Amino acid sequence: MPAERRRNSPPAEIRIPERLLPADGRFGSGPSKVRQDAVVSLERAAPRYLGTSHRQAGVRSVVALLRGGLRELFGLPDGYEVVLGNGGTTSFWDIASFCLVERHSQHLSFGEFSSKFAAVTTAAPHLDRPEVIESPVGTHPVAVPRGDVDVYALTHNETSTGVAMEIRRPDGAGGLVVVDATSAAGGLRVDPRQFDAYYFAPQKCFASDGGLWVALLSPAALERVRRIAAGGRWVPASLDLGTAIENSDKDQTYNTPALATLFLFVEQLEWVMTNGGLEWAASRCDHSAEILYGWAEATEYTTPFVAKPSERSHVVGTIDLDDSVDAAQVAATLRANGILDTEPYRKLGRNQLRVGLFPAIDPEDVGALTACIDHIVTALAA
Ligand SMILES: *Cc1c(COP(=O)(O)O)cnc(C)c1O
């Protein structure tokens, strides 16, 4: 059948046999699977927690557990601070452009999310034009140390393309290393000595809801915030990192946070810590990735989108399908069978499936997903 007609035909009525289905059908790359056990805990705590003041001990103790738990999970050295506030990662880009970038940032841009932070500093009238180093989608660029760069903006995992990069300070560079770790934090290994700011939101590896940002800040980053404030730069109050640091220090946020989000975040953190910490979570993601990419390499109609195995993300997998198979139809058929959010990042525009491999997702379910895809492709060809 010509590709045009095939793509326009209505999704076939394909029922995946029960025995092939994953136990949980959520494979989204954010928001992503929230463990039902955590939701049950929230329900149990709700009468004494939801709808109570975030300035009182009940909620503040949850923020304290969150901050202490993250410090332990990442093995933060003395002097590093765990800071949080409202607005998710997108707000943190604005915050960083006001409170971390002194004049000139260098951005590694290799997908939708990394390009967005570069767009923020490009538009900021108080900053010099940033240096933006790009590479083709499906790869990542490498930072170039320069004397006049005061922030190196890296992305641990580019969620739009499924490319991960190791976080390392550029050799001999003096600037701050500021890392978007939104989809990486809690699922990929990282050495805190290699970053000054590692920021993220809890709707990916931390299996909670969106709307919050967290930043792990080194002493050099904290010093930068103080120095920029002392220089008298105007900063909108809700984007003032100094204000967020002061509030976090008291286990509070500047304005009202989403209490359910905080609770589910702590539930996930404690689940990971109980099971063995970041190394356990990262190993679980390694296992899921091995299942997904191993299948994609062994299967005739699939190819991992990211060519270099070392750059393939272990938290978000992207799999190209052969032109003979319509990925949109496969994703729609999965959806009709209760398997959700395997569609590719919309702006990438590829014949592709994208699969969340976050710690909450059971590696066995990833295996089941591949069997379901095989079942659909066989049925579509019949
Ligand atoms: C999801 C994501 C974001 C956006 O996070 P929000 O909390 O929705 O602002 C930014 N960067 C990366 C790498 C992401 O995966």
Task: Report the pLDDT value the prediction gives residue 5, as an integer from 0 to 100.
Answer: 42
Residue-range definition of the domain harbouring residue 181: 36-274
Token pair of 260, please? Answer: 């359910």
Together in a domain, 139 and 198: yes
Residue where one domain finishes, among candidates 233, 258, 274: 274
Determine the residue of 32, 84, 89, 204 to mutate for testing ligand 1's pocket, defined as the one with the most ligand atoms within 8 A of the Cβ atom.
Answer: 89
106 neighbors 241 (Cβ within 8 angstroms) = no
Distance 327 CA to ligand 1 centre (A): 24
Ligand 1, atom 2: nearest CA belongs to which residue?
A: 182
Together in a domain, 22 and 109: no
What's the domain count of the chain? Answer: 2
Task: Report the pLDDT value the prediction gives residue 136, as an integer from 0 to 100.
Answer: 94
In this prediction, residue 3 has a pLDDT band, given cuts at 50, 70 and 90, of very low
- Mean pLDDT over all residues of the chain? 96
Q: What is the pLDDT of residues 160-202, one digit of tens each?
A: 999 999 999 998 879 999 999 999 999 999 999 999 999 999 9
Q: Is the CB of 155 under 6 A from ligand 1?
A: yes
Together in a domain, 249 and 284: no
CA distances from 119 to 115, 132, 135, 260 (A): 6, 9, 16, 32
Distance 162 CA to ligand 1 centre (A): 13
Distance 20 CA to ligand 1 centre (A): 32
Task: Report the pLDDT value the prediction gives residue 16, as an integer from 0 to 100.
Answer: 97
Determine the residue of 90, 116, 156, 160 to mutate for testing ligand 1's pocket, defined as the one with the most ligand atoms within 8 A of the Cβ atom.
Answer: 90
Residue where one domain finishes, among candidates 251, 274, 297: 274
CATH code of the domain in which 335 resides: 3.90.1150.10
Given a cut of 70, whether residue 28 has pLDDT beyond it is yes
Ligand 1, atom 5: nearest CA belongs to which residue?
A: 89
Q: Which tops the pLDDT comparison, 225 or 172?
A: 225
Ligand 1 atom nearest to CA at 181:
13
Q: Is the CB of 113 under 6 A from ligand 1?
A: yes
Q: Which residues fall within 8 angstroms of residue 125, CB to CB, at 6 or more apart? A: none
Together in a domain, 154 and 100: yes
Given a cut of 50, whether residue 1 has pLDDT beyond it is no
Q: Which of 152, 145, 52, 48 is nearest to 104 (CA)?
A: 152
Distance 52 CA to ligand 1 centre (A): 28
Residue where one domain finishes, among candidates 274, 297, 321: 274
Q: Residue 216's beta-bridge partner residues?
A: 82, 198
Together in a domain, 81 and 26: no
Together in a domain, 14 and 158: no
Given a cut of 50, whether residue 138 has pLDDT beyond it is yes
Given a cut of 50, whether residue 56 has pLDDT beyond it is yes
Give CA–CA dist 242/245, Å, rounded: 5
Q: What is the pLDDT of residues 103-115, one digit of tens each?
A: 999 999 999 999 9
Q: Is the CB of 261 under 6 A from ligand 1?
A: no
Together in a domain, 147 and 250: yes
Determine the residue of 112, 182, 357 to mutate for testing ligand 1's pocket, defined as the one with the most ligand atoms within 8 A of the Cβ atom.
Answer: 182
Q: Is the CB of 159 under 6 A from ligand 1?
A: yes
What mean pLDDT is predicted for residues 81-88?
A: 98
Task: Report the pLDDT value the prediction gives residue 173, as an integer from 0 to 100.
Answer: 79
Task: Report the pLDDT value the prediction gives residue 11, as an integer from 0 to 100.
Answer: 54
Q: What interhelical angle do 259-275 and 57-73 show, nearest 10? A: 40
In this prediction, residue 381 has a pLDDT band, given cuts at 50, 70 and 90, of very high
Ligand 1 atom nearest to CA at 89:
9
Ligand 1 atom nearest to CA at 156:
13
Task: Report the pLDDT value the prediction gives residue 2, as an integer from 0 to 100.
Answer: 45
Together in a domain, 198 and 325: no
Together in a domain, 108 and 257: yes
Ligand 1 atom nearest to CA at 90:
9
Ligand 1, atom 14: nearest CA belongs to which residue?
A: 182
Ligand 1 atom nearest to CA at 316:
15
Ligand 1, atom 4: nearest CA belongs to which residue?
A: 89
Together in a domain, 30 and 78: no
Rg (CA), the chain: 21
Q: Is the CB of 182 under 6 A from ligand 1?
A: yes
What mean pLDDT is predicted for residues 239-262?
A: 98
Together in a domain, 154 and 259: yes
The model's pTM:
0.96
Distance 54 CA to ligand 1 centre (A): 25
Ligand 1, atom 7: nearest CA belongs to which residue?
A: 88
Q: Is the CB of 88 under 6 A from ligand 1?
A: yes
Ligand 1 atom nearest to CA at 213:
7
Together in a domain, 173 and 190: yes
**DSSP-H helix ranges across the chain:** 3-8, 36-49, 57-73, 88-99, 112-123, 219-230, 241-249, 259-275, 277-298, 327-336, 363-381
Distance 230 CA to ligand 1 centre (A): 30
Give CA–CA dist 211/253, Å, rounded: 13
Q: Is the CB of 263 under 6 A from ligand 1?
A: no
